[in-house]
Amino acid sequence: MLRDYEKVAAEARAKARIMFDTCRASSKLEFIDRERRMVERRIRAARFPATKSFDTFDFTAIPSLNKPLVLELARCEYVVARLPTRSFRRLHDGGGPCPSVDGGADEKRLLRLQAQLAAVKLLIVDELGYVPLSQTGAELLFEVFSQRHERGPTIVMSNLPFDEWTSVFGNQRLTGALLDRLTHHTSTFWR
């Protein structure tokens, strides 16, 4: 028994190392797969009308667009750092479902929705200005943006220049205060 001890011990160490490496590699693959599924779930939950990427985006269609800055923002490092970077872009027209923040919603549901919107890592508001908001809707959206101001990144996409936003919000003072919050620490892109 003593005679084979070194040989058996060396084999056991080799097998343990192989087992450890196998477990580590398997865990790494499981982690990557979970991340991929999490991203897929979040994309489904966001209900985007179509999945798009910068691989297919034609930067030559908008020559004034700062491609390096857009690609830097696309890496989303500001989301990880929870920096309040906001981008106003007219790069595409999307659409898609959005939870209603107007109409006879009870206060409890409204507070829950506001808490959910304040907690998301990145809030994307698409087609702002496509439909004018009621006074209540404008005030509620202002409240959402105010809660996120300096706390989390928000991307707002609109086809309207800033000087026409009053027609959406219906109140010049509210629009001015909103633009003050949204344009502080911002990257702005116009087509």
The string of DSSP codes covering 84-131 is --EEEE-S----------SSS--HHHHHHHHHHHHHSSSEEE-STTSS
Q: DSSP letter for 135, please.
A: H
Distance, in Å, from the CA atom of 167 to the CA atom of 83, rounded to the nearest integer, reads 30
Residue 178 CA to residue 91 CA, distance in Å, equals: 22
- Model confidence at 99, pLDDT cuts 50, 70, 90, reads very low
pLDDT, position 81? 67
- Model confidence at 92: pLDDT above 50: no
Q: Domain coordinates of the chain in residue numbers?
A: 1-46, 59-188
pLDDT exceeds cutoff 70 at 90: no
Residue 63's contacts (CB-CB under 8 Å, 6 or more residues apart) are none
Local structure of 157: helix, strand or coil? strand
The average pLDDT across 23-31 equals: 80
Enumerate the β-bridge partners of residue 156: 88, 125
Tell me the CATH class for 59-188.
Answer: alpha beta
Q: What is the mean pLDDT of the chain?
A: 76
Model confidence at 139, pLDDT cuts 50, 70, 90, reads confident
Is pLDDT at 11 greater than 60 in this prediction?
Answer: yes
Pairing label, strands 123-125, 186-188: unpaired
Residues 47-64: what's their mean pLDDT? 82
